[in-house]
Structure 1
Amino acid sequence: MKKAIVSLLAVILGLVAGALLMIFTGHDPIEGYRFLITGALKNRERIGNTLATATPLIFTGLSLAFSFRTGLFNIGAPGQMLFGGLCATAVGLTFDLPRVLLLIVMILAAFIGGALWALIPGILKAKFNVHEVVSTIMMNWSCYWIVYYAVPAYFKGPSLETESKLLPEAASLKASFMTDLFNGSYVNLGFLLAIIAVIVIGFIINKTTLGYELKAVGYNRDAAEYAGIAVNRGIITSMLISGGLAGLAGVAQYAGNASNIQIGLLPSQGFDGIAVALLGASAPGGVFLSAIFFGVLYSGRGFMNAMTDIPPEIADTIIAIIIYFAATSILFERLISFLKRRRTNKAEPGKPSAPDKPDSPAEAAKPVGRVGE
């Protein structure tokens, strides 16, 4: 509950700051936000496009949130997403299979590709304590140049060397029933896959022994090791699952929202997943709602710019401010705890305030400092 309040505060403060910025630059914030929301949710087609925009963000947000739960900062989601997309594209352009089977193989290839791209940083972290931020950034650029070489060499399009051939219809995640439901939007099966991923990851984190162990490693690695949990194995497992989720973002983007893969670009959704995970408090349900919110901002900013003279950079600034407040959520948590203790002390004067309850059994197992520390 506390984390949900913190995320809501981050959104409200970000929107207020965006409104103030519009006022200072001579624009009407009410009109700006009205067209921002209208551009994202005006009709079924725009709603479908918003959901499609949010789909890769759901996967990358889940990827980052899962690694956060194990105390890891997997900033390699862009490379893992790109490599997963490359693997899915290679399968779609190479194999001639029935559509259902081909899509399953492409999804598996994307997950495995992303997982393998995260495996190296995971091993380096577990075996040699190499910081995952450094190693995953290097893996991002390694993937960038691999795609830069592989696409023109093996999958070059008929007209441009900077993009691959278009995927055949059988290898596309686009589905006519979803297109018709959302009146011609480009929402696709990737969104349904994202919903399944949210449910599965939520079950793993909250209902399985694996999830408990990974959370214990994230809360206190030394205590988890003392309790008999295989910490190194947990780190590698977490990175594999995190990378696999980012790889699924690749197939959703390049076989769903688009029809091919381009060179010279690291997908921004990989970096945006950090903001999605922070705002969603690293909870699968929170990540889903956070990704939808960011999808609204990204889809609506173009319409806001077209209907008013408000530059689209205002929407980017709002997103940046929200990220800032979400990243400094510890300040809000301390403020909420302080106000709660103060209210308790006023209600029961003379009674010492109770310490905050831990969010999980793993947090309760954290060792406390010795007397005199």
Structure 2
Amino acid sequence: MGSNVSTEQEWSQAEPKNQAEPKSQAEPRRQAEPKSLAELKSLLELLSLAELKSQAVLKRLAELKSLAELKSLAELKSQAELKSQAVLKRLAELKSLAELKSQAELKSQAVLKRLAELKRLAELKSLAELKSQAELKSQAELKSQAEQEKCQTEKCYDPRDSTLTFVDREDEFDFLCEGFKSRRALMSCGHAVTPMSLTKWCRRLLDEGKSRFTCGQSGCDVEWPYSEVRKMALLTSEEMEYFEETSASNAIKHHFDAKLCPGCSTSVVRKETSNLSVRCAVCTADKGRAYEFCWQCLREWKGPAPRSDRCENDGCCNEPLKTLKNCLDIIFQSVRGVTGCPSIRACPTCGSLLEHDRIKCKNVVCTQCRKEFCFVCLKLSVECLKTSSYYIPCSSGVAPRQTSIPVWKKE
């Protein structure tokens, strides 16, 4: 538009110069001037439109370029993602393969370890079998040797002895099933023995403090004279000496409640059964002072006296009372409804400790005094059976654990 204005001014300024021109020439020129302005204006508008269109085209081109770039970027991104997924998938496959390989290695190691263990077990089993075979062979050899020695050292009856009554049956006193080789002969009570089984049984009686030799079969209380035992057991001179001395010592203890003094080995009789402190007259005279020893631990008395439980010596305790206190309860197989009964009792007559075998009835016979009493209520059977029977609970209930040992008052 600025160019049109300047042109008009130029033309206005030029008019005076041309005033001299003829009128007929000026009019056509004036008519042409507006036409040129319109064309210029139209051209300017077209130019402006062209510029606008060019700008729009450029803008569109920029947009298309941007879209192309975005599309390219998207395609690149998609390709990258696909490549990344492929890489991840490959990594997962490699990881899976690594895990499978690791598992296979572990399994292989486990198999090798198991094979090694099985091999070791087979070796140990083989060694154990070899050892067992060697032991069995050794045991067989030892047994054979023992049997040979036994045949050489075992006491046997003379088959030509007409004073003996031989029988062809089991040795009824072979309680440990040792299988003695001698022939069997009858005792006066009618039970079959061998010299070895009879010797062992009688020695057991002496070691338990007995002074008499009685039959050990259930229901048989026959007492054998020492002469019969000596003959039937084929006692040696050493055995006869032991039997006679031990029997006499046990008899003294049994009838007079006597023990050997630890100071002089003299037999001392206890007068007061409730007092463990006992004075030895021989030691008192020899030492010139009162010498007392403990009836329980058989050491010189220590501490105040009299006492019925223990002296002050270390380790002095009443073992039978300790046993009565700590023994387990018994469960009878044939007597129902009895609970809390100790499995070991002191005989209410003589004080000997007895253990019930849990079978049969509740009544037992003391091996020392031969008295029968109830293991549950501790009454003599003749008293217990007045209100009860052998296989039912006692009317007076279960007697408590004993806290003292009864002293046998011999008639």
**Is this a same-fold pair by TM over 0.5?**
no
User: Structure 2 length as normaliser, TM-score?
Assistant: 0.20
Work out which structure has the larger RCO, using CA pairs closer than 8 Å and 6 or more positions apart in sequence. 1
Task: Name whichever structure is richer in strand by fraction.
Answer: 2
Please identify which structure carries the higher helix content.
Answer: 1
Q: Find the structure with the greater CA-based Rg.
A: 2
